Amino acid sequence: MHGRPRKDPKPEDAAASVAKAEKLRSLQSQFLSNHHNKIYTNEALEVNTKLLEVNPEYYTAWNFRKLAVEHRLSQSDSDPDSIKSIFSEELKVVESALKQNFKSYGAWHHRKWVLSKGHSSIDHEMRLLDRYQKLDPRNFHAWNYRRFVAALMNRSEVDELRYTTDMINSNFSNYSAWHNRSILLSNLLQRKVQGFFPKELVLNEEYELVHQALFTDPDDQSGWFYYLWLLDQTVKADAPLLVSSWPARDSLIILEDQCLDDRALSPFNTFHSDSGTFPLIVYFNQAVEGVNSSTISVESVLNANSELNWKPLSTNNSQTAQVWVTYLNYPKVDVHSEAYPVEVSIGHSGGIISSSGFHYSHPSRFAFKVFARPVKTPIGHGGEIISWQDGNFALYETSPEEPNPTISLDQLNSKDDNEKTSSEWRAETIANEIALFQELLSEISCKIGKLTLARLLKAHDTLLSPCANKMVYSEEVIKLYSDLRVLDPPHSQFYKDEHSLTLLQQITSTRESLLRYCFLHGDGTSSFIGNSMCLRLNNLSLSRMGSIERLLWVQMLDLSHNELRSIEGLEAMQLLSCLNLSNNKLSGFTALGPLRLLKLLKVLDISCNQIGSHSIDTTRYLCSSPLCHTEEMDWGRDETVTADVNLANYWEAFVIFRGLSLTQLDIAGNAVADEKLKSFLVKIVPTLKWLDGGELH
């Protein structure tokens, strides 16, 4: 029931209701009896018509009508007039039902069913719709029906687009019309229909139209989402692009066969692994499928005889991902060995496709060199505990000749500028829009104005310097998000997340800014992390992680003392071996899903979070599990381990930790971390040596 006032029924009303109920009950039972006995006489139909007039939601009655029509058609002598009259009778019943309830699914469907039989006038439907849609311009049943009728009569999309223009001009506040416009226009643009090409001219007009809506009443949401779509159309290229990789372009990577303590080497590009392989990571600007040894060719002596196996870094086991990884073999370890070149060519053969169906269309090539160094003195095997205390870190002092960790991150985009005019148009449009919204905000302070300006300024920065890493406006954007948190408190966490993303962009934008967060860990003897460089993004009140495409080189990461609820995207950091997430707002084990893809992770601190304190798990469906059919629960090999626990309570811990080979875990300070859970974890993670600072035996 919607919009019916709450009141105690007066005795006379109650009596009237009982009388009305009695009448309806009798109609319903007469109807059911007819239906069950397949009686389709005129009397039976009359009962049905009366019933639907009172109660159009009574779905079985609509089914009966369809059966009755079929019955009557089979009885009739196929005289076109009598067929026509059978169907026009149905349309009348629908009309009176809609009068009773304009939102009756059953009535609208019955009308569609009648129309699709092809015996009724379509023109009449268009006139009827015009009338209905004037009465209720937001009724989505009517809009759906309109699309159905337009398709049935082959009405042109241009005509339908004009209809949305009329609707919008008569009242800007009609989200339904804006929506239909976005559907029609994107079809017309995609097909490059005459009058809708080039795209730029069309979009200019659309900006004009939506400005009128936004500036007339900035608080009315009708134009907000349309504007965002236009902005997207302006800024985003359809085709997927490669944004970064590890090893990065033109880098020299030093692989260590064993642990090495040598300060002369730059920690930015040394990598250690026992496995005899190292990862090759490619990071796209959107999720793609079709990455394999034929779409990416890797030329190097290191994998001369084997076909590479590319794996999507997807937390739900899908074959689509933004980041893909493969593994190359270590070159021969020898003091006198040379640096081996590796050349990667992407997209020369086609086949890499975005989820929206666009092909990778910027074939590109990059190269790096790898060099394997033997150990001087083999030292420990990760026996000692890693401590994250401040005293163990010293700001990293870089030497001028050292490679820049960020340098290679951006030069990958071999941006061919064939579409010079289009990119000029983009820049010009964004600049115009920025000026317009600055003007609006000088007159009134409104949330959509500030939010749009923040989005425009970010768009400006990515458009103007996708490769140069300049963040011209980041300070202003951060200021806008801070303002918005005050202006619109219910959505403050939304703005805070945006704020965090901008901050991370700023931090990772240049070598200088990033170096402020790079620290050397320990006294240099920490033996089993590949190198002792730690990126410390702690205490920044980050509520969300981002800019990960620029952090692929990181092997030790401190994110402690932030406000992170999720670590979405961290799965791309394939080199990560030590991770500190303590003192954040992680509220469930399923939030750690990305860690399952980090095969090198050894040290994990998740102490002092909120795991176990919440009854509702917001990452329950973002983590691969039997609930979403992305994997089976295989307790099998752990039968003895799991025999005495309630699996319904421990499945999250099981799913997350079973595949990790952690040696050190800190979990104290979470509601879930009782002795029982800890002993469970010790059993399912046999590699574990340290738990909450204590050594396991």
Partner 1 sequence: MGELATEKHVQYILSVEKRKDDFISVAMEYLRMNGAYWGLTTLDLLGKLDAIDVDEVVSWIMKCQHESGGFGGNIGHDPHILYTLSAVQVLALFDKLNVLDVEKVTNYIAGLQNEDGSFSGDEWGEVDTRFSYIAICCLSILHHLNKINVEKAVSYIVSCKNLDGGFGCTPGGESHAGQIFCCVGALAITGSLHHIDKDLLGWWLCERQVKAGGLNGRPEKLPDVCYSWWVLSSLIMIDRVHWISKEKLVKFILDCQDTENGGISDRPDDAVDVYHTYFGVAGLSLLEYPGLKAIDPAYALPVDVVNKIFFGR
Does the footprint of partner 1 cover residue 696 (CB under 8 A)?
no
Instruction: Measure the CA–CA gap between 515 and 263, rounded to whole angstroms.
Output: 17
Instruction: Measure the CA–CA gap between 623 and 392, rounded to whole angstroms.
Output: 34
Q: Which residues contact 228 (CB under 8 A, 6 or more apart)?
A: 455
Instruction: Measure the CA–CA gap between 367 and 344, rounded to whole angstroms.
Output: 6
Angstrom distances, CA of residue 584 to CA of 225, 388, 517, 563: 32, 15, 19, 5
Chain position carrying tokens 């379509």: 122
Query: How are beta strands 533-536 and 353-354 bridged, if at all?
Result: unpaired
**Closer Cβ to partner 1, 497 or 666, answer by number:** 497
Provide the 10 A C-beta neighbour count for residue 523. Answer: 10
Which of 180, 364, 538, 584 forms a contact with partner 1 (CB under 8 A)?
180
**Closer Cβ to partner 1, 175 or 330, answer by number:** 175
Which of 622, 645, 668, 682 forms a contact with partner 1 (CB under 8 A)?
622
Chain position carrying tokens 């396991």: 696
Tell me which residues in 521-560 interact with partner 1 (CB under 8 A): none
Which of 53, 200, 220, 638 forms a contact with partner 1 (CB under 8 A)?
220
Residues in the chain: 697
Which of 30, 49, 88, 221 forms a contact with partner 1 (CB under 8 A)?
221
Among the candidate windows 74-82, 244-252, 466-474, 621-629, which touches partner 1 by CB under 8 A?
Answer: 621-629
Which of 40, 163, 229, 246 forms a contact with partner 1 (CB under 8 A)?
229
Closest distance between partner 1 and the C-beta of residue 655, in Å?
10
Closest distance between partner 1 and the C-beta of residue 555, in Å?
27
Does the footprint of partner 1 cover residue 50 (CB under 8 A)?
no
Does the footprint of partner 1 cover residue 207 (CB under 8 A)?
no
- Look at the alpha carbons of 199, 202, 205, 210 in this order and tell me if their dihedral is positive or negative: negative
Does the footprint of partner 1 cover residue 171 (CB under 8 A)?
no
Tell me which residues in 297-316 interact with partner 1 (CB under 8 A): 314, 316
Does the footprint of partner 1 cover residue 289 (CB under 8 A)?
no
Tell me which residues in 333-362 interact with partner 1 (CB under 8 A): 355
**Closer Cβ to partner 1, 52 or 520, answer by number:** 52
Which of 38, 41, 46, 59 forms a contact with partner 1 (CB under 8 A)?
59
Provide the 10 A C-beta neighbour count for residue 663. Answer: 22
CA atoms within 13 A on the CB side of 436: 16
Instruction: Measure the CA–CA gap between 682 and 684, rounded to whole angstroms.
Output: 6
Does the footprint of partner 1 cover residue 568 (CB under 8 A)?
yes
Closest distance between partner 1 and the C-beta of residue 22, in Å?
8
Q: Quick one: tokens of 394?
A: 């010293």
Does the footprint of partner 1 cover residue 1 (CB under 8 A)?
yes
DSSP label of 347: S
Closest distance between partner 1 and the C-beta of residue 36, in Å?
7
Does the footprint of partner 1 cover residue 225 (CB under 8 A)?
yes
Angstrom distances, CA of residue 41 to CA of 37, 70, 93: 11, 13, 16
Q: Quick one: tokens of 27?
A: 């109609």
Closest distance between partner 1 and the C-beta of residue 301, in Å?
36
**Closer Cβ to partner 1, 354 or 526, answer by number:** 354
Among the candidate windows 50-58, 194-202, 357-365, 507-515, which touches partner 1 by CB under 8 A?
Answer: 50-58
Which of 165, 169, 190, 317 forms a contact with partner 1 (CB under 8 A)?
317
Which of 135, 264, 335, 616 forms a contact with partner 1 (CB under 8 A)?
616
Angle between helix 140-152 and 175-190 (nearest 10): 30
**Closer Cβ to partner 1, 160 or 433, answer by number:** 160
Angstrom distances, CA of residue 637 to CA of 247, 321, 431, 683: 37, 30, 61, 12
Which of 204, 345, 414, 630 forms a contact with partner 1 (CB under 8 A)?
630
Contact, 167 vs 138, CB < 8 A?
no
DSSP-derived secondary structure for 594-619: GGGG-TT--EEE--SS-TTS-SS-TT
Angstrom distances, CA of residue 515 to CA of 350, 510, 518, 551: 38, 9, 5, 12
- Look at the alpha carbons of 88, 93, 97, 103 in this order and tell me if their dihedral is positive or negative: negative
Which of 10, 12, 648, 697 forms a contact with partner 1 (CB under 8 A)?
648
Which of 626, 659, 693, 694 forms a contact with partner 1 (CB under 8 A)?
626
Q: Binding marks (x or -) toward partner 1, 243..282, rule CB under 8 A?
A: ----------------------------------------
Does the footprint of partner 1 cover residue 462 (CB under 8 A)?
no
DSSP-derived secondary structure for 495-541: HHHHHHHHHHHHHTTSHHHHHTTEEEETTS---SSSS-EEEE--SS-
Does the footprint of partner 1 cover residue 222 (CB under 8 A)?
yes
| CA-based nearest residue to 342, from 374, 312, 308, 291 | 308
Does the footprint of partner 1 cover residue 318 (CB under 8 A)?
yes
Instruction: Measure the CA–CA gap between 234 and 262, rounded to whole angstroms.
Output: 49
3-class DSSP state for residue 691?
strand
Among the candidate windows 71-79, 137-145, 189-197, 239-247, which touches partner 1 by CB under 8 A?
Answer: 137-145
Provide the 10 A C-beta neighbour count for residue 477. Answer: 26
How many Å from the N-terminal Cα to the C-terminal Cα in the chain?
64
**Closer Cβ to partner 1, 349 or 618, answer by number:** 618
**Closer Cβ to partner 1, 182 or 392, answer by number:** 182
Bond preceding residue 312 cis, omega within 30 of 0: no
Does the footprint of partner 1 cover residue 21 (CB under 8 A)?
yes
| Residue 678 backbone phi and psi in degrees, to 5 | -60, -40
**Closer Cβ to partner 1, 409 or 501, answer by number:** 501
Instruction: Measure the CA–CA gap between 246 and 366, rounded to whole angstroms.
Output: 11
Query: Applying CB under 8 A, what is the total number of residues that bind partner 1?
Result: 87
Tell me which residues in 420-459 interact with partner 1 (CB under 8 A): none
Which amino acid makes up residue 289? E
Tell me which residues in 184-203 interact with partner 1 (CB under 8 A): 186
Q: Quick one: tokens of 189?
A: 């643009």
Q: Binding marks (x or -) toward partner 1, 139..158, rule CB under 8 A?
A: -x--xx--x-----------
**Closer Cβ to partner 1, 125 or 498, answer by number:** 498
Among the candidate windows 49-57, 272-280, 519-527, 595-603, which touches partner 1 by CB under 8 A?
Answer: 49-57
Does the footprint of partner 1 cover residue 183 (CB under 8 A)?
yes
Tell me which residues in 95-134 interact with partner 1 (CB under 8 A): 105, 109, 112-113
Rg (CA), the chain: 32
Which of 433, 497, 558, 605 forms a contact with partner 1 (CB under 8 A)?
497
Does the footprint of partner 1 cover residue 610 (CB under 8 A)?
no
**Closer Cβ to partner 1, 111 or 536, answer by number:** 111
Instruction: Measure the CA–CA gap between 654 and 631, rounded to whole angstroms.
Output: 13
Contact, 114 vs 151, CB < 8 A?
no
**Closer Cβ to partner 1, 439 or 634, answer by number:** 634
Among the candidate windows 55-63, 78-86, 265-273, 325-333, which touches partner 1 by CB under 8 A?
Answer: 55-63
Does the footprint of partner 1 cover residue 224 (CB under 8 A)?
yes
**Closer Cβ to partner 1, 69 or 346, answer by number:** 69
